[in-house]
Amino acid sequence: MEYLASSGGLSCPESDQRMNYYGMGGIPDIVWDGVVRQVGSGSGDRDGVSFAAKIDARLAVDAPLAVSVMSYSFVGDDPYITVKIEVFEDLGSNANTYLRVGICENGLSYGGTDYHNVLRDMPADTPLTIMNVGEIQEVTIPLHMDGQWDPSELWAFAFVQRDSDRLIYNSGSTYITPYTLNVEVDGEQQAIIDAPYTFGLTTVTNIGIAPEHTVDINMDTSSLPEGWDAYFTLGGVDMTTTTVTLEQYDTAELTVTIVPGDGGGSGRAVLNVHSHSGEMDDINVPFVGIIAGSDLLIVSDDGGAGYAYDFFGPAIGTTTKTSAVWERALGGITAETLAPYEVVIWQTGNNYTSLDADDRAALQTYMGAGGRVFLSGEHLVAGIFAEAGTWLQFYLRVAYQTNGTSGSDVTGVTDDPISDGLVLDLLGGDGAGNYNDPDVIEPVNGGGGVRCFSYDLNNGAGVWVEYGNTRVVTFSFGFESINAVADRDLLMQQILQYLAPGASGVDSGNGLPQLVTLSQNVPNPFNPQTKISFNLDRQSQVHLAVYDVTGRLVRVLANEVRSAGEHTMIWDGRDTAGGQVASGTYFYRLTSPDNTFSRKMTMLK
């Protein structure tokens, strides 16, 4: 990331030249790896939240070479830095490619403000002379030290850059200690599964200066549901704990497997890497397995706060419905993934993020097919408004007013299906304690939305809307901040009863059975065909479709108006194109104006 201070009395020629090199207009103005540009992030983004998605994307890019600071000195008669470059993947060419080194100083005071990471000097470029796998170039570069610099506050960085397109291959710095590890996962850390699932290769590499590094590797399964298991495989042996010693640049290559239990839900296991050196924090790498077929999907987009597990899941557990958690930080989500679920709950906590274009596209497709959605989070609406105001108004039917309100109580609306009789306190108690400056929202004029919660008489806190078969509930505060478990449970029950009547697991209160039903297919398992029956309480538009375990649509069995009563459809195990599907688990979903049901079935050959 090119983000070097160049201001007033702290400016230096090299810093100004780098800004000109990238055509940067000022700070905050970011160029990631010399390739991905973000202009004008805004002075309010000093915590870096707006950069999180770009950081995650760059971390996922495999580097073809390693850049390591082997040794250095900022004192004495001959200050220097020694950098080692090792090629792991053929570059094809090393033309116009250079090793560049910079010296920065921390703790500088200017104009009454302390500054860190101020660029002091950049020695002359060193051409890259290697380009094939296994080749190593080691360079010792003399450094110029100014007598006014404080050696104890200096640090240096090194990076390899190709000038033809300004791509930065990789970088290193003197912040790398003798004991430093790099842990990378080849591919996904989260997957939809219906059997034991092995993730891609996880590589633990000793990239520190020390000649060897001893580490403990263990699999934490404490967060897995009952009946689930997880382990890792190293050297062909399955285990949950081991100790390895790695020489410099040596690796331990292992794979993680999650074994699901019966029923729906999701499981989270964490691979922990602990250094014996005592000089570095543990590295924790999560892996998540999700069983398609749960009734609800919680998209956890709260920056790792864990609200999906601590607050949303337990509240859903007071109904008869099952839920699974998709961790947005571990990967994007598609419309195909959302499709099998009766209700999607998207929660952002205090992540101060907006749904990106891909997230919005997935939700748009899901809602277009009659999906039911509950969104919750502080500044979630403001973020969407800033990125896609038209989308916010058209699909959520919500108008963003402002942020910041006085008072921490939200009050329901008499006779409202969601909020009737509720007065919620968002501070203290056993809530998450994260209430802070939420958005004020209102229904879009003429959009059919209804305000269901208010901070006071003039400031809206919640809106619900229904159009076609779609129903959406949007809160401008975090559900997790409600300070009483009884209030959270009751509110979640009422939200689900509104979003999927008869499918929330909550008694309707009238003593009558639900007349809209979806029966288990017969036979099950089946080959070559099976019967799927459903009952309607009145003439209705229905949509009955089959999906695979990834959420991909396999076949639409009905999409039409049907009369009241029982109906039976036959699925012959073929997809839309007429091809025979493979053995495995599939899901069928029935959607009518007021109901959504899903069930699981198995085809055997």
The whole-number pLDDT of residue 3 equals 41
The whole-number pLDDT of residue 330 equals 92
**Rounded-to-integer distance, Cα 205 and Cα 248, Å:** 8
The whole-number pLDDT of residue 95 equals 95
**Rounded-to-integer distance, Cα 375 and Cα 358, Å:** 16
Given a cut of 50, is residue 513 above it in pLDDT? Answer: no
Confidence grade of residue 60 (pLDDT, cut at 50, 70, 90): low
> How are beta strands 470-475 and 460-467 bridged, if at all?
antiparallel
- Domains located in the chain, CATH noted: 8-173 (2.60.40.10), 177-289 (2.60.40.10), 292-512 (3.40.50.880), 517-603 (2.60.40.4070)
**What would the two tokens of residue 590 be?**
């029935």
**Residue with the larger pLDDT of the pair 599 and 543:** 543
The whole-number pLDDT of residue 551 equals 80
Confidence grade of residue 43 (pLDDT, cut at 50, 70, 90): very low
Given a cut of 70, is residue 276 above it in pLDDT? Answer: yes
**Lowest mean per-residue pLDDT among 320-329, 391-400, 404-413:** 404-413
Given a cut of 80, is residue 81 above it in pLDDT? Answer: yes
The whole-number pLDDT of residue 425 equals 93
Counting every residue, how long is the chain? 605
* Contact assessment for residue 14 and residue 121, using Cβ atoms and an 8 Å cutoff: yes
The pLDDT mean for the chain works out to 86
Given a cut of 50, is residue 306 above it in pLDDT? Answer: yes
Given a cut of 50, is residue 159 above it in pLDDT? Answer: yes
Give me the helices (H) in 372-501, please.
380-391, 485-499
Global confidence as pTM = 0.67
Q: Among candidates 300, 295, 290, 289, which has minimal Cα distance to 341?
A: 295
Given a cut of 80, is residue 512 above it in pLDDT? Answer: no
**Residue with the larger pLDDT of the pair 16 and 287:** 287
**Residue with the larger pLDDT of the pair 285 and 599:** 285
DSSP, collapsed to helix, strand or coil, labels residue 99 as: strand
**What would the two tokens of residue 600 be?**
């699981």
Given a cut of 80, is residue 243 above it in pLDDT? Answer: yes
Tens of pLDDT, residues 213-229: 999 999 999 999 999 99
**Rounded-to-integer distance, Cα 587 and Cα 527, Å:** 15
